[in-house]
Chains A and B, each alone.
Chain A
Amino acid sequence: MKRFIALSSMLFVCLLAQANQLTMESVSEQILQAESLHQKARTVGHGWVITLKLIEQAKAALADDQLIKADELSKRALGTALASVTQSIKEKRVWRSRKPSS
C-alpha cells in the first residue's frame, strides 16, 4: 500500500511538472505546425483525414484549458501530418514502380 501511494505521488508530481512546462503558446505553436504540414500535404493531394480530426480535437481541448490533452493531441497531429508529407515526397519517386511494364 505504501509503495502504491509512493508511486502514485511520483506520477502526480511528474504530471504536475509536465503541466507546468506546458503553456498555451507552446501547444498553440504545435497546432500551427501541424496545420502547416497538413496544408502542405493537402496541396499535393496527400491530406489525411485523421490529421484534421486531431487538430480539431487539440484546438477544442486547448479552448477547454485541458493543456495536457491538447499537447498530446497536437503531438499526434504533428506526427500524422509529418507522415503524410513524407508519403507525398516518397510517392513522387516510387509510384511508377506499381504500373505494369509496357
Chain B
Amino acid sequence: MRETAILPWQRLKTDIQRRLRGRGALPWLVPVLILAIWQIAVQAGWLSTRILPTPWAVVTAGWRLLLSGELLEHLGASTARAASGFVIGGGIGFFFGLINGGYRLAENLFDTTLQMVRNVPHLALIPLVILWFGIGEEGKLFLVALGVFFPVYLNTFHGIRSVPPDLIEMGRSYGLRGWALFRQVILPGALPNILVGVRYALGFTWLTLIVAETISATSGIGYMAMNAREFLQTDIVVLAILLYAALGKAADMVARALERRWLRWNKSFLAA
C-alpha cells in the first residue's frame, strides 16, 4: 500500500532522476545549454544580430514563413529535386552495380571508366553544368544524380560481390536459376551493403542540392537563403541552414527505418 502514497511530484522527481541517470536527458544537456547561451549573448548585445539572430527569432521567422506558405513552397521544391535526383542517380548506380557485380564482362567493360569519372569532384562541374543546362532544373538534377550515383554504385557492386559463393552454390543446387536466384539469394545478401550506399547517397543528395540551389535557382531552400542574404535577414538564413540539417536527418531516419525493416534478420543492424 505504500506505493500509492507516493505523491505525484515525487514520482516526477524519480522519473527525472531516472532519465538523468540513464541516457534519457543527458545527451540533450549540452545543446540546450548552447541555445541558452546563444539567446542570452545576442539579447545582451554581446553578439550583433547581423552575425547571428536569437534562436527565438529563427523560430518566429519559421512560423511567419509557414503561415505565408513560402516555407512549404520552398521545402517542396527542394524535396522534389532531392527525390528525383536521388531516384535517377541511385537507379543508374544500382543498375551498374548489379551488372558489374554480376558479370565479369560488364565489370571489365565499365568499371575502369566509372572509377575514372569518380575521381572528378562532381561539384567541380558546376560551371560546365551551367553552360550546358543554364540555371534550370536539369542542371540541378544532373548534379544530384551524379553525386548519388557513386555511393550507390560502389556499395551495390561490393554487396553483390560479397554474397557468400557457398550460398549461391547452394541456391543453384536447390534448383534456383536466373531471376529466382537473384531475388532470393543474391539481392538479399547484397542488401546490407546497398543500404549503406543509400545512406551515403542521401548525404550527398542534400550536400549537392545546397550548392546547386545557392548558385542558381528560383525556388527551394537554397534560393530562400540567398534571397534573405540580400536583405540581411540572418534569421531566415539560419532557418534555411537548420532546415537542410533537418531534411538530412529525416532522410537518414527513413534509410534507417528501411534497414530495420529489411535487415531484421541481421543482429548487427538491429542494434544500430
Q: Do A and B come from one complex?
A: no
